[in-house]
Amino acid sequence: MKGLVVTFLLTFGGAFVSLFNPFYGLLIYICFAIVRPEAMWFYSLPQGGNYSRIVAIGMLLGWAINGFGRWQLGRATAPTAFLLRYWAWSFIGSLACESQSVGWKFFEELSKIVLPFLVGVTTIHTPRQLRMLAWTIALSQGYLAWELNLSYYRGFNWLHGYNTPGGFGGMDNNCVAIAMTAGAGLALFLGLEAGRWWHKALAFFLALLQAHTVMFAFSRGGMLALCLMALVAFLLVPKRPVHYLYFLLAVALGLRLAGPEVRERFLTTFADPEQRDASAQSRLDLWAICWDMMLDQPVLGVGPDHFPLYVDDYSANKYPEGKEAHSLWLQIGAEQGFLGLGLLVGFYLITCWRLLPFTRRHYPLSDPFYRDIARAVIAGITGFAISGQFVSLEGLELPYYIILLGAVALKLAPVATLAPAPASAGAYAPSIASAK
Residues 228 and 373 in one domain: yes
Q: Are residues 281 and 140 in the same domain?
A: yes
Range of the domain at 30: 1-68
* Domain closes at, from 37, 68, 99: 68
The residue among 9, 38, 68 that closes a domain is 68
Residue 79 is predicted with a pLDDT of 97
Does 432 fall in a domain?
A: no
Residue 434 maps to a domain: no
pLDDT at res. 32: 95
Q: Does residue 167 sit within a domain?
A: yes
Q: Are residues 254 and 111 in the same domain?
A: yes
Whether 107 has a pLDDT exceeding 90, the answer reads yes
* pLDDT of res. 431: 36
Taking only the tens place, the pLDDT of each residue in 375-423 is: 999 988 988 888 788 787 788 899 999 999 999 999 998 754 444 544 4
Instruction: Answer yes or no: do 253 and 117 share one domain.
Output: yes
Among 127, 144, 125, residue whose Cα is nearest residue 30: 144
> So what's the pLDDT on residue 265?
52
Q: What is the DSSP string of 296-321?
A: HSTTT-S-TT-HHHHHHHHTTTSS-T
Domain assignment of residue 231, yes or no: yes
pLDDT score, position 165: 44
Which has more pLDDT, 203 or 362? 203
* pLDDT (0 to 100) of residue 270: 45
Residues 194 and 59 in one domain: no
Give the torsion sign (CA, 6, 400, 145, 356): negative
How does residue 268 score in pLDDT terms, banded at 50, 70 and 90?
low
pLDDT classification of 424: cutoffs 50, 70, 90: very low
At 261 the pLDDT is 52
Look up residue 204 and give its amino acid.
F
pLDDT in tens, 213-242: 888 887 777 787 788 888 888 888 777 777
Each residue's pLDDT tens digit, 131-171: 999 999 999 999 999 999 998 888 888 887 544 444 677 78
For 159, which DSSP code? T
Predicted confidence (pLDDT) per residue in 10-35, tens digit = 999 999 999 999 999 999 999 999 99
Please give the biggest Cα pair distance in the chain.
68
Q: Say if 159 falls within a structural domain.
A: yes
Total structural domains within the chain: 2
Q: What is the pLDDT of residues 275-293, one digit of tens each?
A: 455 666 788 889 999 999 9
| Shared-domain flag, residues 17 and 136 | no
Between CA 399 and CA 261 the distance in angstroms is 28
Q: What was the pLDDT predicted at 240?
A: 73
Any domain includes 339: yes
Share of the chain above pLDDT 70, in %: 85
Run of H or E residues at 390? none
Any domain includes 404: yes
Are residues 62 and 178 both part of a single domain? no
Domain annotation covers residue 421: no
Are 118 and 80 in contact by the 8 Å Cβ rule? The answer is yes
Q: Do 244 and 107 lie in a common domain?
A: yes
How much is the pLDDT for 251?
Answer: 67
For residue 3, pLDDT over 90 is answered with: no
- Choosing from 33, 68, 103, the residue where a domain stops is 68
Q: Is the same domain home to 14 and 28?
A: yes
Task: Give DSSP secondary structure letters for 23-43.
Answer: HHHHHHHHHHHHH-HHHHTTT
Q: Tell me the C-alpha distance between 134 and 150, whole Å.
A: 24
pLDDT of res. 433: 36
Q: Clarify whether residues 102 and 45 are in a common domain.
A: no
Strand partners for 168? 171
Q: pTM, whole model, 2 decimals?
A: 0.88
Average pLDDT over residues 66-79: 94
Distance CA(349)–CA(385), nearest Å, equals: 10
The answer on 84 and 40 residing in a single domain is no
Residue 182: pLDDT band with limits 50, 70, 90: confident
Same domain membership, residue 83 and residue 25:
no
Q: What is the mean pLDDT of the chain?
A: 84
